Amino acid sequence: MAQATIVRRTLPDNIPEHIMRRLMGTSADTRAPWETYQRDPLAGCSPELQAEIAEYSQKHHGKTSGQNVEELCRQKELTRNSVKDYKFYRQDELTTEEGKKGRVLHCLEFLRMLEKIRPAYLSANVRKGLTGLAVYHPQDVLNQETGVIERVDWQYVCACQVPYMWEYSVLHIDPRTGLPLNEKQRGWRTVLLRLIQSGHVTEQQALEVFGEAIGQASRRYREQLFFWRNRKEMEGQERE
């Protein structure tokens, strides 16, 4: 795959100061960001308001009563019991980082391997370490607004981790409730599973190009593939 050439140009010498700061932010100043803030936060406040602010700043919470502590413990116990049904099956497997790195791939290497199966595209717009993945797979798609079936060539798949992708995903957990929040790392096996379940890649194609998932951390990935492979039979059993 051809590599993009990045050309970086320096700013002109005669560029105005306010324009340079808009382009470069605090990197255009040798001072620390907090050293550039000169405005007094109390400027413009009346003497009465300043006195109230000074008095309020001296107030601190004292020790609470034993009744409040007991009520807090009771509410925490109720919260833990109420969220049990919302936790993932074997959630501990998704929160530990042990063994999740596996075979680390650069996102462009993952893209190169995927393009052995079908054309793919990674967006240059990166937000919070993620970028969008799309594949060229012409399909008839129902337009939700017009109700008309349209032929769509490029299909959006999901977001991918950049620049380096672990093999398996790891979740962030809310420390208060123990419920999953979002992904700390999105593994390329997760993206691959999404491609398979969306019909863009077959399980056999994924196996030939990306290899077999091995190790203890692969259990969940292989389990999801098993359920997907046998979904029709399992759906029939559930109806019976």
Question: Can you tell me the distance from the alpha carbon of 175 to that of 181, in angstroms, rounded to the nearest whole number?
Answer: 10
Question: Can you tell me the distance from the alpha carbon of 222 to that of 204, in angstroms, rounded to the nearest whole number?
Answer: 13
In this structure, of 9-23, 69-83, 107-121, the range with the lowest mean pLDDT score is 9-23
The sign one gets for the Cα dihedral 187, 188, 189, 195 is: positive
In a domain, 227, yes or no: yes
Q: What is the pLDDT of residue 8?
A: 46
Q: What is the pLDDT of residue 9?
A: 53
Give the alpha-carbon dihedral of 149, 158, 228, 109, to 10 degrees. 120
Range of the domain at 155: 89-239
In a domain, 30, yes or no: no
Q: Which pLDDT band, with edges at 50, 70 and 90, does 238 fall under?
A: low
Question: Can you tell me the distance from the alpha carbon of 155 to that of 135, in angstroms, rounded to the nearest whole number?
Answer: 5
Written as one letter, the residue type at 216 is Q
The residue whose two tokens read 């389990």 is: 223
Mean residue pLDDT of the chain comes to: 83
pLDDT in tens, 179-212: 888 899 999 999 999 999 999 999 999 999 999 9
pLDDT in tens, 140-180: 888 888 888 888 889 899 999 999 999 999 998 888 788 88
| Cβ-based neighbours of 227, under 8 Å, separated by 6 or more | 234
In a domain, 65, yes or no: no
In a domain, 3, yes or no: no
Number of domains into which the chain is organized: 1
Q: What is the pLDDT of residue 151?
A: 87
Its pTM stands at: 0.65
Judged on CB neighbours under 10 Å (0-12, 13-18, 19+), 50 is exposed
In a domain, 49, yes or no: no
Top-confidence residue, 86 or 115: 115
Between the CA of residue 169 and those of 56, 111, 186, what are the distances in Å? 47, 18, 5
Would you say 117 and 208 are in contact if contact means Cβ atoms under 8 Å apart? no
pLDDT above 60: residue 137: yes
pLDDT in tens, 53-86: 888 888 877 778 888 889 988 988 888 788 878 8
Q: Three-state SS for 89?
A: coil
98 token code pair: 């042990």
The residue whose two tokens read 């029939």 is: 236
The residue whose two tokens read 């107030």 is: 59
Helix orientation angle between 188-197 and 219-229, rounded to the nearest 10 degrees: 0
In a domain, 41, yes or no: no
In a domain, 42, yes or no: no
In a domain, 140, yes or no: yes
pLDDT above 50: residue 240: no
